[in-house]
Structure 1
């Protein structure tokens, strides 16, 4: 839920700042900067809560610790890529794929009741998926709209 709040607050804040600076409502810039801020926020979790994040990774995935850190690095790279107009389309495509690939970790965490912050099995459980899956789909739709649909072909 926190990433969604970060995304929405960042979008409104960025939209207001860009309007104040340029005098126009630049939804493309605001939408991509907001997603970049959210990605930096979530990437930080991969480095702070890495023990709990490792617990989230499904059993069939090898090198769990490396995967957690790699996911955090990818989120930082995606944040940068969304802010560079020439790389925005490719970044959006890869970010959508990334969001789909990490969804099993969220499902696994919910099924096992993992609390990634405490690295414990005292998390929210499967009811959390009623929020998490739609939120993940919202993130995908956001990236598709601001990273693919609003971007003008070069």
Structure 2
């Protein structure tokens, strides 16, 4: 189960580097930028999986899904697009909301794969996998909200979302 450790490293290393840099500068938002860079790198990492281990990703979808392979490629492109959209401050909050939506919408697929022990190696641990994946999923959602949505400039969001 090395992938969750890779994801945590991808998230925390840029954030910790930014925190160290923040000690030496008066610039505002350095730590937040590190968190965003880590989040964007994580989504880029997720995206790459769709193109590198495509067959395993296809196995994560139930048989009744039509065009499973094109769907895997399309979701990989969505994740890559979100990773890129996190970087400019102008689109960051929207991209953060998109990342959170993807994490929520794709999570049933992780439940399916864990219950059926299909997909990439760590999913084959069965339901035990969810003991690792669920907290990681929650962390990714909180991370996205904290650094991208909340820290990404909420002025462009609808009033109901900006009130938080």
Q: TM-score range by the shorter chain?
A: 0.7 to 0.9
Could you tell me which of 101, 108, 111 is aligned with 1:104? Answer: 108
Asked if the contact 1:10/1:37 (under 8 Å) is kept, the reply is no
**Greater relative contact order, per chain length (Cα 8 Å cut-off, separation 6+):** 1
Aligned to 1:128: 129
Could you tell me which of 16, 40, 60 is aligned with 1:56? Answer: 60
Displacement after TM superposition at 1:137 (Å): 1.2
Displacement after TM superposition at 1:65 (Å): 0.7
Pair 1:65-2:66 in alignment: no
RMSD: 2.3
Equivalent residues, number: 150
- Calculate the TM-score normalised by the size of structure 2: 0.81
Q: 1:63 to 1:153 in 2, by over 3 A?
A: same
Displacement after TM superposition at 1:23 (Å): 5.5
| Distance (Å, rounded) in 2 between the aligned partners of 1:143 and 1:103 | 15
Unmatched tracts of structure 2, length 5 or more: 156-164
Unmatched tracts of structure 1, length 5 or more: none
Asked if the contact 1:43/1:72 (under 8 Å) is kept, the reply is yes
**Structure 1 segments of 4+ aligned residues over 6 angstroms from their partners:** none
> Matched residue of 2:44: which SS?
helix
